[in-house]
Amino acid sequence: MEKKPLYTLHAEHVEWRNRVLFYNDDLQILKRRLDEVAVRNTDKEVQAMVEHFQNRMLVQKEQIDILKHDINEYEKVIEVHLKKNDTAADQRSWNDHTHLRERVETFELLFNELRKDLIGFVAKWL
């Protein structure tokens, strides 16, 4: 397994946490737009699509919560590692967290796909 400097891993965690928080905020904006469509269009087909998007958004919200938790857990591991030996912390390395990076990237791809689909749906029905 590849090793990376602890400060690099920490910087990635901070960046990922900020990105996940951005997506959480974006999700709230998308939800409000979807609610506007639901209020203005009572057609059964439209309501079925609204429910479909609500379900996709629930899944994304769950993934946001899981990613925030997992990123925080990795930070705790780094903190424990540093507390054991805080000398030359900027020179120390730790196992890269490739699988977490891949999960963040996959989440972003899926979220952006949801956003694109939802914006197209909203544009059609508002």
- Residue that the structure tokens 């997506």 belong to: 23
Which residues of the chain, if any, have pLDDT below 50?
Answer: none
Per-residue tokens: 73? 């857990």
pLDDT of 90: 65
Is the CB of residue 56 less than 8 Å from the CB of residue 114? yes
Q: Which of 119, 10, 106 is nearest to 67 (CA)?
A: 106
pLDDT of 78: 84
Buried/exposed 21-32: b ≥16 CB within 10 Å, e otherwise: eebeeebeebee
pLDDT of 116: 98
Per-residue tokens: 88? 């030359």
The domain segmentation of the chain, as residue ranges, is 3-125
pLDDT of 103: 98
What is the per-residue pLDDT across 6-42, written as a single tens digit (0 to 9) for each?
888 999 999 999 999 999 999 999 999 999 999 999 9
What lies within 8 Å, CB to CB, of 26 at 6+ separation is: 111, 115
Is the CB of residue 55 less than 8 Å from the CB of residue 61? no
pLDDT of 87: 63
